Structures are given as C-alpha cells and as structure tokens.
Amino acid sequence: MTSPAARKRRDAKVGRLELRATPSQTAVIRQAAAATAKTVTAFVLDAATIEAQRALADRRLFRLDPDRWERFVKALDRPVKAKPRLTKLMRRPGALD
C-alpha cells in the first residue's frame, strides 16, 4: 500500500500550462470559479480535463475476449441493410443548409 506522502509526491503538479485570454474571457472564468468555490486554476483544469476526456472518448482503447472480438468483426463486416427512413431523413435539408 502506498503511503499518503508517497501519493502526494507522485501526484505533484510538475507541468505548467500557459494561455492567453481576453479580459472578458478572464472575467467570466473568474466569476465561474468563484461561483463554484474553486480557484481559477482548479476551475480551468477541471473544465479542460472534462473537455479533453470528451474529445478522446471515442478514441479510447477497448479490449474484447476472442469470442466477443469475433462477433464484433462479423458485425462490422456484415452488409448494410437498407434503412428507408434514415435515407429520407438524410435527404432533408439540415438547419445549416
């Protein structure tokens, strides 16, 4: 078992991030940090970490046992079935068109 002191040393913050922000961005970040009873650093790191996890969510490694891997590969290789309702939906103009 790791001692609390050893964990603290291991988890020590050694990296530094620097960024530039407009005065209005800085103000809203400071307000949000105060509203959540966090330091600006803690608020920004929490928000950035959550966004980074979202950006990487679909790129994570996943492992399957051999049987599940085989079923996964078969599902990927299966021919696509016609989906008339989906085809109709995709032909409609979108909100940005």
Which has the closest alpha carbon to 62: 53, 76, 72? 72
Q: What is the pLDDT of residue 72?
A: 93
pTM for this one? Answer: 0.52
Q: What is the pLDDT of residue 8?
A: 65
Render each residue's pLDDT in the chain as its tens digit; 97 residues. Answer: 567 766 666 677 788 889 999 999 999 999 999 999 999 999 999 999 999 998 888 777 778 999 999 999 999 999 888 889 988 999 998 888 7
Cβ–Cβ under 8 Å, residues 39 and 47: no
Structure tokens at 89: 């939906």
Which has the closest alpha carbon to 25: 17, 33, 37? 33
C-alpha–C-alpha distance, residues 3 and 28, integer Å: 39
C-alpha–C-alpha distance, residues 9 and 24, integer Å: 36
**Secondary structure percentages of the chain, helix, strand, coil, to 5:** 60, 0, 40
**Domain limits, the chain:** 20-91
